[in-house]
A = this chain, B = another copy of it.
């Protein structure tokens, strides 16, 4: 089963989409198998990270901003503004696809794991995540 899930982002940063993915799993009726999550973009990406303390997420976002900053004088690609090229770098360092086993109709995430869509652009975007279940 394949389902395309539209996700509206509101700002730069990590958006918890765990419940959205789990809802597709529940709806499918699949009790055991593999869930593949794929994002159809190169300026937004996927990452599994801690979902308990928001400070871990904020520190990760801020660190990535320092690692791949806007305004690097080496950049030649800035068709869509100063956040264009950093968004590609940050996407390349994280994930475009994730594979998560399913047992008892639930994603086998660890207790502290959440699935995040990481919006790397500053402005809101309409994103598409594809979920494959088998």
Contacts and interface: CB of A to CB of B under 8 A. Distances in A.
Per assembly, the copies of the chain total 3
Given A40-B108, A99-B132, A134-B34, A56 B74 contact: no
A48 interface: yes
A111 to B, nearest CB: 8
Contact of A99 (B4, B36, B53, B113): B36
Interface size class, chain A: 35 or more
A41 interface: yes
Q: Which 6 A-B pairs have the closest CB atoms?
A: A40-B110, A55-B77, A97-B99, A101-B132, A48-B96, A36-B99
Interface of A: 2, 4, 32-34, 36, 38-43, 47-50, 53, 55-56, 58-60, 62-64, 66-68, 72, 74-77, 79, 84-85, 88-89, 91-101, 103, 108-113, 128, 130, 132, 134
